[in-house]
Structure formats: structure tokens, C-alpha cells
Amino acid sequence: MNGDYEKAAFHLANATVVCSQKTEFLAMMQKTLPEPIFQLLLQYYQAANERYLKKVMTHEIQKQMSQSKQSTTSGSKEQQFNDTEIE
């Protein structure tokens, strides 16, 4: 298979991941691409989607951990302030 087709399928797969109308986009691709290229697109899409989801999940976990650390830190400062205020 020509390398240009593989590159095109790779980039189309990445575009599909972020496309808001995936079903319509893939239906159009299925009608316009030769079957072997469309199958390659589907393979690349699956891998690209997994990478994207992993990246999003990692980002969300890091965000939650950061927020948790901030609330813990600010909570202990409030506690220290309240202890000083009582004395």
C-alpha cells in the first residue's frame, strides 16, 4: 500500500477523533475511500481514539489531584488561622 494513503488514513483518523459528527464523517469516508483505505482508517481511528481518551483521562486525574492538594493546603491554613484566633 502506498505510504501516502497510509499517512492520509492516519490523519483522517485523528480528525475523526475530534470530529463532532463522527458517524456522518465516517459514512462519507466509507462512500469516498477505497475499501482497503477505509479499513485502514478504522484501524487508525481505534488507536487514535484510545490515545486521545488516555490523554484526556490523565489530564483529568492530574487536574483533580491538583485541586485536591490546593483544598488540603488551604484547609490547613484555615485551621492554623482558627487556632491562632482562639488563643
φ, ψ of residue 33 in degrees (nearest 5): -90, 150
Nearest to 16 by CA among 5, 28, 1, 2: 28
Bigger pLDDT: 24 or 72? 24
- pTM for this predicted structure: 0.67
As a whole number, the mean pLDDT across the chain is: 84
- Helix 22-32 with 3-18: angle, nearest 10 deg: 160
